[in-house]
Amino acid sequence: MAEFSIDRFVDRYARRAAGMTASEVRALFAVASRPEVVSLAGGMPYVQAIPAAEVAAVAHEVLSEMSDVALQYGGGQGAAGLRERLAMLMAEEGVIADPEDVVVTTGAQQALDLIGKIFVDPGDLIAVEAPAYVGALTAFGAYEPRYLPIELDADGMVVEQLEQALVRGERPKFVYTVPNFSNPAGVTMSYPRRQQLVALCREASIPIIEDNPYGLLRFEGDPEPCLRTLDPENVIYLGTVSKTFSPGVRVGWALAEPSVVQRLILAKEAADLCGSSLNMLLTERWFSDETRWRGTLTGLVDTYRSRRNTMLAALDEYMPDGATWTSPHGGFYVWVTLPTWLDAKALLAAAVERRVAYVPGTAFYPDGRGTNQLRLAFCFPTEDRIREGVALLGALLGEEEQLYRSLQG
Amino acid sequence: MAEFSIDRFVDRYARRAAGMTASEVRALFAVASRPEVVSLAGGMPYVQAIPAAEVAAVAHEVLSEMSDVALQYGGGQGAAGLRERLAMLMAEEGVIADPEDVVVTTGAQQALDLIGKIFVDPGDLIAVEAPAYVGALTAFGAYEPRYLPIELDADGMVVEQLEQALVRGERPKFVYTVPNFSNPAGVTMSYPRRQQLVALCREASIPIIEDNPYGLLRFEGDPEPCLRTLDPENVIYLGTVSKTFSPGVRVGWALAEPSVVQRLILAKEAADLCGSSLNMLLTERWFSDETRWRGTLTGLVDTYRSRRNTMLAALDEYMPDGATWTSPHGGFYVWVTLPTWLDAKALLAAAVERRVAYVPGTAFYPDGRGTNQLRLAFCFPTEDRIREGVALLGALLGEEEQLYRSLQG
């Protein structure tokens, strides 16, 4: 793209697109993708651990045996055989699902977009975690909502805050949560909080959107029941194979009530007609061999666990006094809170110059909070690189601290 | 899905989703998908003509040689190498494109959705052909526009009608057209009309969305220049590999000005993060072997030409007096106009009972027109099936005509 161009369409865009301009952070990430920079920013799965030869064999099988289906359009709901496999995957986490109630989407991200499309009118209120998955904020953002941010603590969403908001008379269209190993905070909702949230939302007739990309990436401890299990009628559940298999096939899904499913299918067809038959059949077959998919997943979890351990140890070693961080039991992310006088967004340019990148906390709030917070991802870099990146970041923060103290004193 | 369920979310949907319920026509198509029914309804490409073994070999190559990329997330704009190939495909039709100005989408359908998202506020006017591609009406429909339908004749859009609307003071956000072998009408915009449309829209600063899925499926005659060629600044061009290769990979694209491209990328990322890296690399490699892709395309065009010939001959033989139809020089569709007293939507159930299906004309108008029209697709069924289907339809229409005359006389 040319960097400067007269925008002849400038007065023709929709209101929702007026703010659609590339951010400064985006520009920095272009720099951060240089190989010499240790990126602790992106949440890319470690796909190098997927046995590519086996994927190639599966793709070859699908195209040899059923190319007439694999190369053709499919229905808007997604391939029936795949939906059965996805029901099986949900059963791994205790969710009982009828494949007829599943809509296959282009990653779970598309499910977020379609949910925004069918539920959100401009000005509608949506309850989100603070901090929340940035992709959900951008997906919903296209439908011009207002946000009700509910804080997180070590036990996940502080449900009391939602309750107080309801008492105040706020009526969110839905509550959006990533209860397991949340992105970006890395925290997991406790069982009491889950019970509390489900009861509150049922009582108030407010649907819950439960987004669970990381549930099967558990390093330790026992899983809590899914919200969908606690209330199958009032919870719309989202899943993806991007973390258990590959994001390159773009297969996610929504599990919902038939009335919602019908609308999601129509919204999906309006958005892109149907998913990729080839990718759906490939994914279905990948998950049809239990030894294969479990073996791959176990390998991924072991890798992520080691990397998490390395990152936590490096944070202990290199972070200056006053910084705190979460200790995730699974998933991809550690959430760091710096002393309040540090601005993680303002520091990003200096960090990238020193060859380390992260995502500033403000990206995860709809309201400008999080200036002294940042997200670190341990999923993709090797342990050496993680240690190197955290050391570089720690050195920068230490110098900033010294500078601050010298100015104070 | 359960057929009857209490919709506990009924008062929570967005305004745009209120009308999202499965139509009667949709229910009929479920019946029409039974193998004994000759479907002249769906626009499924004849993917049986794609050499599946070669696709399998290409998929195997991609996964063997570059699984780290194929199985990973990609950027929102789409793989750079694929965008170069797509620029090459556009050059086949005379469109000069910088790969930096291309955004890869999930089929061209997603480009329609993203264009609706960045341009359309509720109540905005959009100029569409009458009849128009039904998928464009549903994609744009999610953004709650009003429509300005511009009629088609044998030379494509009757641009004078658009001109008159502008004189009346109507200000559409954009004009949407399928200038080559339109879906559903099968007509092609003449060169004078193209010049007229492009000059009018440039003068009025109204962008044109040129959707060109069928341009390379020409059976006879010389191509007209693309609208994008006539005005590269004011035309957003959409393409797809669904008709030249396979719809199963869901690869389409938009070519636009940098300012529009930037917004399309952000809207794409909000909608589904990125396309399937695997499918993008597979498609890139498919089109990197000129003998392979040209050979496949030539085979498809030859098949479609023969099927078009068969359908036109069968229509001549079996249609009752008073029915007329278009003679497409390419693409997938013939558009049939019946005597005004026949209702193609009301007749569909009887047609399906007699084992033939079509799409009623009303689906292609935003305003209830087209009751006596229908779309027939010759792309997928064999020539025998096409003849059989048209004969079944002709017999039904003939009997309806006799019944009408006996009631009249």
CA distance A252 to A239: 6
Structure tokens at B268: 């794409």
Contact across the interface for B67 and A60, Cβ inside 8 Å = no
CA distance A74 to B15: 28
Domains of chain A: 15-50+293-408 (3.90.1150.10), 55-289 (3.40.640.10)
A138, closest residue in chain B (CA to CA): B270
Output the pLDDT for position A217: 98
Output the pLDDT for position B247: 97
Dump pLDDT digits (tens) for A205-259.
Answer: 999 999 999 999 999 999 999 999 999 999 999 999 999 999 999 999 999 999 9
Of A67, A74, A119, the CB nearest to B12: A119
Dump pLDDT digits (tens) for B128-143.
Answer: 999 999 999 999 999 9
What lies within 8 Å, CB to CB, of B259 at 6+ separation is: A5, A7, A8, A9, A10
The residues facing A149 across adjacent strands are: A128
Dump pLDDT digits (tens) for A16-50.
Answer: 887 676 666 676 677 777 889 999 998 999 999 99
Q: Whose CA is closest to B359, among B340, B381, B336?
A: B336
CA dihedral B375, B380, B384, B389 (to 10 degrees): -30
Chain A residue numbers touching B113 (CB-CB < 8 A): 270-272
Dump pLDDT digits (tens) for A179-190.
Answer: 999 999 999 999
Contact across the interface for A20 and B109, Cβ inside 8 Å = no
CA dihedral A27, A29, A30, A32 (to 10 degrees): 140
For range B252-279, the mean pLDDT: 96
Tell me if residue B360 falls in helix, strand or coil: strand
Closest CA–CA distance from residue A354 to any residue of chain B (Å)? 24
Output the pLDDT for position B363: 93
Among B8-12, B48-52, B267-271, B323-327, the minimum mean pLDDT is found in B8-12
Within 10 angstroms of residue A241's Cβ, the number of other Cβ atoms is 25
DSSP string for residues in A230-288: H-TTTEEEEEESTTTS-GGG-EEEEE--HHHHHHHHHHHHHHHSS--HHHHHHHHHHTT
Output the pLDDT for position B8: 76
* Chain A interface disruption, residue of B119, B250, B380, most A CBs within 10 A: B250
Contact across the interface for A109 and B249, Cβ inside 8 Å = no
Q: Which amino acid is at B381?
A: P
Of B5, B52, B73, the CB nearest to A44: B73
Within 10 angstroms of residue A220's Cβ, the number of other Cβ atoms is 9
Contact across the interface for A71 and B248, Cβ inside 8 Å = yes
Within 10 angstroms of residue A277's Cβ, the number of other Cβ atoms is 28
The answer to whether the CB of B177 falls within 8 A of the CB of B136 is no
Contact across the interface for B73 and A246, Cβ inside 8 Å = no
Contact across the interface for A63 and B52, Cβ inside 8 Å = yes
Burial class (CB in 10 A: 0-12, 13-18, 19+), A354: middle
Output the pLDDT for position A21: 64
A122, closest residue in chain B (CA to CA): B14
Tell me if residue B348 falls in helix, strand or coil: helix
CA distance A214 to A247: 13
User: Helix axis angle, B344-353 relative to B24-32, nearest 10°?
Assistant: 20
* Chain A interface disruption, residue of B273, B279, B281, B293, most A CBs within 10 A: B273
pLDDT interval class at B364 (50, 70, 90): very high
Chain A residue numbers touching B120 (CB-CB < 8 A): 14
Task: Give, rounded to a whole angstrom, the gap between the first and last alpha carbons of chain B.
Answer: 48
Structure tokens at A190: 């406790």
Output the pLDDT for position B3: 40
Residue B4 pLDDT more than 50?
no
What lies within 8 Å, CB to CB, of B226 at 6+ separation is: B93, B94, B95, B179, B210, B212, B215, B235, B237
- What pTM was estimated for this model as a whole? 0.96
For range B282-297, the mean pLDDT: 98
The answer to whether the CB of B264 falls within 8 A of the CB of A20 is no
Residue B23 pLDDT more than 70?
no
Closest CA–CA distance from residue B291 to any residue of chain A (Å)? 20
Structure tokens at B401: 């005509």
Contact across the interface for A258 and B2, Cβ inside 8 Å = yes
Output the pLDDT for position B6: 59
Contact across the interface for B276 and A277, Cβ inside 8 Å = no
Residue A205 backbone zone (phi > 0: left; psi -120 to 50: alpha; other: beta): left
For range B225-250, the mean pLDDT: 98
Output the pLDDT for position A23: 67
DSSP string for residues in A40-99: -S-----GGGS-HHHHHHHHHHHHHH-HHHHTS---TT--HHHHHHHHHHHHTTT----G
The H-or-E segment that residue B27 falls in is helix B24-32
Q: How many CB pairs under 8 A join A and B?
A: 283
Output the pLDDT for position B10: 79
Output the pLDDT for position A17: 87
Q: Whose CA is closest to A210, among A192, A196, A230?
A: A230
Residue A3 pLDDT more than 60?
no
CA dihedral A274, A213, A227, A131 (to 10 degrees): -110
Output the pLDDT for position A10: 80
Q: What is the mean pLDDT of chain B?
A: 94
**Positive or negative, the Cα torsion across B344, B348, B353, B355?**
positive
Dump pLDDT digits (tens) for B26-53.
Answer: 766 777 778 899 999 989 999 999 999 9
Q: What SS3 string covers A296-365?
A: HHHHHHHHHHHHHHHHHHHHHHHCCCCCEECCCCECCEEEEECCCCCCHHHHHHHHHHCCEECEEHHHHC
CA distance A129 to A208: 12
Cα three-residue angle A280-A285-A288, rounded to 5 degrees = 130
pLDDT interval class at B179 (50, 70, 90): very high
Task: Give, rounded to a whole angstrom, the gap between the first and last alpha carbons of chain A.
Answer: 48
Contact across the interface for A56 and B64, Cβ inside 8 Å = yes
Residue B406 pLDDT more than 60?
yes
The H-or-E segment that residue A126 falls in is strand A125-130
Residue B206 pLDDT more than 80?
yes
Chain B residue numbers touching A233 (CB-CB < 8 A): 8
Contact across the interface for B52 and A73, Cβ inside 8 Å = no
Residue B1 pLDDT more than 50?
no
Within 10 angstroms of residue B140's Cβ, the number of other Cβ atoms is 28
What lies within 8 Å, CB to CB, of A295 at 6+ separation is: none
Residue B153 pLDDT more than 70?
yes
* Chain A interface disruption, residue of B259, B269, B274, B332, most A CBs within 10 A: B259
CA distance B108 to A240: 24
Output the pLDDT for position B34: 85
pLDDT interval class at A2 (50, 70, 90): very low
The answer to whether the CB of B118 falls within 8 A of the CB of B140 is no
